[in-house]
Amino acid sequence: MDTAEPFDVNFCFPVRELENDRIKLTPYIPSIHTHPYFALSLPHPELYTHIPFGPFSSASEVDDYLTGRILSDPALVLFAVIDKTRTDEFHVDNDGAFAGVIAYLNTSVANLSTEVGFVLIMPAFQRTHVTSNAVGLLLQYALNLPSEGGLGLRRVQWQTNSPNVASAAVAERMGFRKEALLKWDRVFHGGWETGKASNNRPMPRRGAAVESGESNKEPMGRDTVMLSLCCDDWEEGGKEKVEAAMNRR
């Protein structure tokens, strides 16, 4: 299939394919990428343990969520991650195998900031070069100056569920620094039923959700670890740290 077919990603900054010799990031097009995304993620509901959506029971459910979430939010753009060192049965990209998704979100033109998130790399591609190169490509595009082909942003943040130590470790390996723990930052609605990981804090009071009969348990709470990599960090060794992580063999 031709990934260059017209598709309005509705992002607040210019969007293009980002790639190096091992990884390509191409804007996620539902008609092309949902089939491999659903097929590869279906056997692994644990991929969704720490994020607010999923698991999904059908490809149409994926489209309903991702298409609506992305097209309605100009602060978010989702990329398909293509591993150029492999091939697969789906053949959605001539350059390699579908390996997962990654996104910019919570992006602000006024504040010159964005977030790297929705990092869902399929199990067969984890603990390889894929995650570091996918994250690195987004960091380079965000933080490099326009004269270097980047957006020249000042801040890139990374948020993760507090029990998700693996996610925080990836961020720190890529040069992000911990800023804060945001207690009771979010509610995982339906989290008990969908296998989410809670903050494991005792609930000090009853909430409206229980009192209205929505559930026999309080809605699950999440603490969020906030990390960032900013323009001064980038110019003071962050760029080289990211390049080293991407080049690791």
2 within a domain of the structure (yes/no): no
Helix H or strand E encompassing 31: helix 30-41
Structural domain count, the chain? 1
Rounded percentage of the chain residues whose pLDDT exceeds 90: 84
User: pLDDT of 103-157, one tens digit each?
Assistant: 999 999 999 999 999 999 999 999 999 999 999 999 999 999 999 999 999 999 9
4 within a domain of the structure (yes/no): no
pLDDT at residue 181 in the model? 98
Question: β-pairing, 155-161 with 97-108?
Answer: unpaired
User: pLDDT of 192-241, one tens digit each?
Assistant: 999 999 999 987 776 655 544 445 677 899 999 999 999 999 999 999 99
9 within a domain of the structure (yes/no): no
Asked if the model's pLDDT at residue 249 lies above 80, the reply is: no
Asked if the model's pLDDT at residue 8 lies above 80, the reply is: no
11 within a domain of the structure (yes/no): no
State the average pLDDT for the chain.
93
Can you give the pTM of this predicted structure? 0.93
Partners of 148 in the beta sheet? none
DSSP-derived secondary structure letter, 219: P
Asked if the model's pLDDT at residue 67 lies above 90, the reply is: no
Written as one letter, the residue type at 181 is L
Structure tokens of 205? Answer: 């009071």
78 within a domain of the structure (yes/no): yes
6 within a domain of the structure (yes/no): no
Judge contact between 155 and 111, C-beta under 8 A: yes
249 within a domain of the structure (yes/no): no
Q: Quote the domain boundaries for residue 215.
A: 18-244
Backbone angles phi, psi at 118, to 5 degrees: 50, 45
CATH code assigned at 96: 3.40.630.30
User: pLDDT of 34-52, one tens digit each?
Assistant: 999 999 999 999 999 999 9
73 within a domain of the structure (yes/no): yes
